[in-house]
Amino acid sequence: MVCRPGFEDNPTEIVRHSAAHIMASAVVRLFPNAKPTIGPVIEDGFFYDFDYPPGFTENDLQKIEDEMRKIIKSNAPFERIPISREEAIRFFEERGDAYKVEIINDLPADAALTLYKHGDFTDLCRGPHVGYTKKVKAFKLLSIAGAYWRGDETKAQLQRIYGTAFLTREELDAHLVKIEEAKKRDHRRIGKDLELFSINENIGGGLVLWHPKGARIRHIIESFWKDEHFKAGYDLLYSPHIGRADLWETSGHLGFYSENMYSPMDIDELKYYIKPMNCPFHIMVYKDKLHSYRDLPYRWAELGTVYRYERSGVLHGLMRVRGFTQDDAHIICTKDQMQDEVLRTIRFCLYILRAFGFDHYEIYLATKPKDKYVGDVELWQRSEEALRRALDAESLSYQVDEGGGAFYGPKIDIKIEDAIGRKWQCSTIQFDFNLPERFDMTYVGADGQRHRPYMVHRALLGSLERFFGVMIEHYAGHFPFWLSPVQIKVLTIADDFIDYAGRVTEKLKQKNFRVECDSRGEKLGYKIREAQLQKVPYMIVIGEKENTEGTLSVRHSKKGDLGSLTLDGFLEILIKEQHSLQDAD
């Protein structure tokens, strides 16, 4: 097994690493024809891929767990066995294990190889492991999925078993509770129940249909996003969905990103590509005329829909799609403006995230890669320092990802934390030394000479589709009042009260609240349950008393019965809640 480096000092990951080996040995005992391939530690657990054409079933997981417990109880030591390249190849050839032979042949010639053995199971692995199998005390196998050898769909299809392990039973139990909570919050189920979106295979995998209620929320998000960008000194752009091949040649996408792009279209004997990114279009807006240093900075933003090829096996609801709308922006500035622009971008980013209810996040500063990068070292150092100073100026804690920058520039990545503690990558602020050079972007400086501007890519939400999926799971469908597609349901007890209910509904609509009136002949309890299932924040019940007195009986989806209110009194509550968004500032 080839395991990822960098966890040698993490006891939990060492336990997971060892549990993966124990799982593989249990599988081989129970299914002698199963061939182990690779099984790394991943976030929150581990997996192992097996070549086993019959396939595993969910019922097999319990059998494998039971066998793992037997292996753990034997308390076999994990033995580290250094081995030469030639010996390792011979060892696995004799076992008929072509997968390990391929891995070995792809390693550098001077790579140090080791085997790890416990009981009757031996695997290729760099380690480390726990000393004895009994050290693995708290584990659970979670699911089965399909996978391709080395992620290549043209190669063998494998069976993947996911599991997790922790140092203590208490940690494991807490994690399993979190998994169950995550299942309840699955945006695909909630999205269907609340009629927010769908993905129809007759249209194509990874292509999202926004239903009326989901589209209403999207409209609210986009309107807020645009208004706040104007306030923050941005201008909006709109760009085409396709562009000529030479545009993507210049940008480098056809050279470095073509596997993620769709096949070209022939138009007027020229090849056009549907866009995977918005950047080249924004640059062409810039190049439409000559610019002076007095014109800078430019802050240009676009909600631009892009299309990228994703393998069918990785598509996942709104989280991994083939067509999505990026909340893209590009800041074009001078060297002297760079520091202030980064600082204001960070502030703006955190303001937007807080507005949507995300107050907890992790920040990463990714620096220059060791080998492949563009731009001179001084440029990188100056840009990295600008990012550091901006983070320090806001007293933000962050982790440095040494060498983790893109080849075209350093960046800040922000991972938001949802209601059950999961981290989601959304926001990014990236310098780009590549595209300004490729497109020969210039401005005229105070000295009358041409200079190269700095360009910063920036996304706050990442993509509307993925961010919407994260929000569904964060709120479990109970959106904040200002985002709810239906904010108020007016429910009649009998037909005699339909006129009054209609007048109340119209008055609320005139105040720009999103209201629906349910005057069907169903029982009140049924109407209330249906509104609760639809996660409508407020319900107004209209009966004899309300109709006679001109009042409202108000219920809140979480707080319960709020009692009898006048329409004006209810409006005060609504207006206060509608404007609670301002507290994000």
- Cβ neighbours for 275, distance < 8 A, ≥ 6 positions apart: 239, 240, 241, 242, 243, 281, 304, 306, 307
- Cβ neighbours for 264, distance < 8 A, ≥ 6 positions apart: 245, 271, 272, 273
Read off the pLDDT of residues 31-83 as tens digits, 9 standing for 90 and up.
999 999 999 999 899 999 999 999 999 999 999 999 999 999 999 999 999 99
| pLDDT for residue 576 | 87
Let me know if the fold of 11-175 is the same as that of 224-239+275-463: no
Distance between CA atoms of residues 350 and 474, nearest Å: 17
**Which ranges in 277-330 belong to alpha helices (H)?**
279-286
Q: Decide yes or no: CATH 3.30.930.10 for domain 224-239+275-463.
A: yes
**Which ranges in 97-231 belong to alpha helices (H)?**
98-106, 169-184, 187-193, 212-231
Q: Which of 270, 273, 244 is nearest to 260 (CA)?
A: 273
| pLDDT for residue 363 | 96
| pLDDT for residue 509 | 96
CB atoms near residue 573 (< 10 Å): 15
| pLDDT for residue 304 | 96
Domain boundaries, the chain: 11-175, 224-239+275-463, 481-584
Distance between CA atoms of residues 50 and 39, nearest Å: 9
Would you state the CATH architecture of domain 11-175?
A: 2-Layer Sandwich (3.30)
| pLDDT for residue 8 | 56
Q: At what angle do helices 377-393 and 338-355 cross, to 10 degrees?
A: 50
In the chain, the N- to C-terminal Cα span, in Å, equals 49
Read off the pLDDT of residues 183-229 as tens digits, 9 standing for 90 and up.
999 999 999 999 999 999 999 999 999 999 999 999 999 999 999 99
Known catalytic residues?
279, 308, 326, 328, 330, 411, 457
Phi, psi torsion values for 214, nearest 5 degrees = -65, -40
What's the gap between Cα 401 and its chain centre?
A: 19
* Assigned token pair, 274: 């549907």
Residue ranges in the chain whose pLDDT is less than 50: 1-7, 582-585
* Assigned token pair, 449: 């000479």
| pLDDT for residue 581 | 55
Looking at every residue in the chain, the average pLDDT score rounds to 93
Q: Residue 168 gets which letter from DSSP?
A: S
Helix/strand/coil (H/E/C) assignment for every residue in 353-394: HHHCCCCCEEEEEECCCCCCCCCCHHHHHHHHHHHHHHHHHC
CATH topology assigned to domain 481-584: Rossmann fold (3.40.50)
| pLDDT for residue 374 | 85
For the CA atoms of 276, 277, 278, 280, what is the dihedral angle to 10 degrees? -100
Q: Given the DSSP bridges, would you call strands 35-36 and 45-51 parallel, antiparallel or unpaired?
A: antiparallel
